[in-house]
Amino acid sequence: MSTSLMRRDGRSLLLALALWLLALAAPPVLAQAESGGEAVQRQLREQTRQRGQFLQGEEIRQSEQVRQREQGGQREQTRQRERERAGPLNDAPMWRQARSGEAFFTTVRGPETGVLIQTEGNTWRQLRNGPIKQYGSVLLLVVLLALAVFYAVKGMIRLHAAPTGRRIQRFSVFERVVHWGTAITFVVLAVTGLAILFAKYLVAPLLGHDALGVLLVVGKNIHNYIGPVFLAFTVLMLLAFARDNLWEASDRVWIRKGGGFISGEHVPSGRFNFGEKAWFWGGVAFLGLIVAASGLVLDFPNFGQLRVTMQWANVIHATASILLIAMSFGHIYLGTIGLEGAYRAMRTGYVDETWAKEHHALWYEDVKAGKPRHS
């Protein structure tokens, strides 16, 4: 009996010793397991980064952005449904965006090709069809009416003395070629330009829209091709006549006496009086070059001009052209039916001695004295 107790006590002792040894060996094993787990986690995180996936914080931020976009889309859908309920087929938001002037995607390459609607074009249209046409037409009619009244009252300004038959050269061949080249191209541009601006109010009621279309197509092409020729002649005109159109002391007397148009007095002047100089510098040089330069901008739109540039060039071109045409009425009137001998001077290049003494006495004295001509 004592032997069996001893055996049981021995087995118990051995079991307790085995459990104690296992307890001592467990922490290193657990620590090694934990250490291996951290390595695996680090490896997983590295693999996650390599695959381009987001960590937990990044996933949260991404989901927040997605949520905000979804909320924004839901709000826009709600507003769109409200607009549809308020007005079915309401395209106002779409057109508002189209009129914003923002550039959107297009396969066509060029300035402003991505802009569907340019709102400044409406401003240009209102200026062209409003003040320019209205005030321009009134100005032209007033000038023509004033010249008609003046002619009815005064008639042609004739020579006081009889012609002598002795002629003096007033214009050289070169000067006459330059003058008539400028005059002819100007008249062609004026007629076609006025047709482009006003023909639909005059031609369409009489001949119909088909005839108006043909007239405008032909007139526009003539206008575009003659424009650069007019510029070339204008430059030649400046070179030929600029020196004789400089200010002189006699111009002050001419201004004070109004050129003698009302009193009938002949005011002494040089080769050109102040009225002719005003036409030369204000009309030919200033307005003529503005018209020509703005016309070139419109004539060659393939140099990267924006639409707003073309629109302002058109406004400047039309305004300066109307002013130039109005001034030219006075010049054409005096050069044809207003002043005896003026047209013959530019056609033949010569004037009678009496004409020179009565209209340009200072120039006549220089010629008789043998002074060289500036031109």
Mean pLDDT of the chain: 83
- pLDDT score, position 147: 96
Higher-confidence residue of 3 and 239: namely 239
Domain count, the chain: 1
Contact 182, 356 (CB under 8 A): no
What are the Cα distances from residue 191, in Å, to 215, 219, 260, 314?
Answer: 11, 9, 32, 17
Residue 67 binned pLDDT confidence (cut-offs 50, 70, 90) = confident
Measured in whole angstroms, how far is the alpha carbon of residue 251 from the centre of its chain? Answer: 39
Overall size of the chain counted in residues: 375
CATH number at residue 270: 1.20.950.20
Residue range 79-98: mean pLDDT, rounded:
64
SS3 state of residue 195: helix
Tell me the torsion sign for CA atoms 192, 193, 194, 200: positive
Better-scored residue on pLDDT, 320 or 114:
320
8-state DSSP, 119: T
Please, which pLDDT band fits residue 77 given cuts at 50, 70 and 90? confident
Q: Binning pLDDT at 50, 70 and 90, where does residue 304 land?
A: confident
Residues sharing a CB contact under 8 Å with residue 12, sequence separation 6 or more, in sequence order: none
Per-residue pLDDT tens digits for 10-56? 566 666 666 655 555 544 444 444 445 566 666 666 665 555 554 55
- On whether the CB atoms of residues 95 and 281 are closer than 8 A, the answer is no
Q: What is the pLDDT of residues 249-259, one digit of tens each?
A: 999 999 998 88
Residue 272, classed as helix, strand or coil, is coil
- Could you tell me if residue 320 is inside a domain? yes
pLDDT at 76 > cutoff 70: no
Provide the pLDDT for residue 375. 47
- Determine the pLDDT at residue 204: 85
Selected residue with higher pLDDT from 241 and 1:
241
| CA 190 vs CA 193, 267, 325: distances in Å | 5, 32, 7
Q: Which residue in the block uniquely carries the two structure tokens 């118990």?
A: 12
Residue 289 inside a domain? The answer is yes
Q: Is residue 305, in this structure, part of any structural domain at all?
A: yes
The answer to whether residue 323 is domain-embedded is: yes
Q: Comparing C-alpha atoms, which of 244, 287, 278, 243 is closest to residue 258?
A: 278
pTM: 0.71
Q: Is residue 62 part of a domain?
A: no
Q: What is the pLDDT of residue 29?
A: 43
Query: What does each C-alpha distance from 76 to 47, 83, 250, 354 come to in angstroms?
Result: 40, 10, 77, 88
Burial of residue 171 (number of CB atoms within 10 Å: 0-12, 13-18, 19+): buried
* pLDDT of the residue at 255: 92
Q: How confident is the model at residue 178 (pLDDT cuts 50, 70, 90)?
A: very high
Residue 351: enclosing H or E segment and its boundaries?
A: strand 350-352
Mind listing the pLDDT tens digit for each residue in 344-367? 999 999 999 999 999 999 999 999
Structural domain contains residue 7: no
- Domain of 309? 123-368
pLDDT tens track for 227-251: 999 999 999 999 999 999 999 999 9
Q: Is the pLDDT of residue 64 over 70?
A: yes
| Two tokens, residue 170 | 């007033």
Strand partners, 339: 157
321 vs 189: CA distance, rounded Å: 9
Whether 57 is covered by a domain: the verdict is no
Would residue 242 count as lying in a domain? Answer: yes
Residues above pLDDT 70, as percent of the chain:
73
Q: Of 319, 280, 316, 323, whose CA–CA distance to 296 is shortest?
A: 316
pLDDT band (50, 70, 90) for residue 80: low
pLDDT exceeds cutoff 80 at 117: no
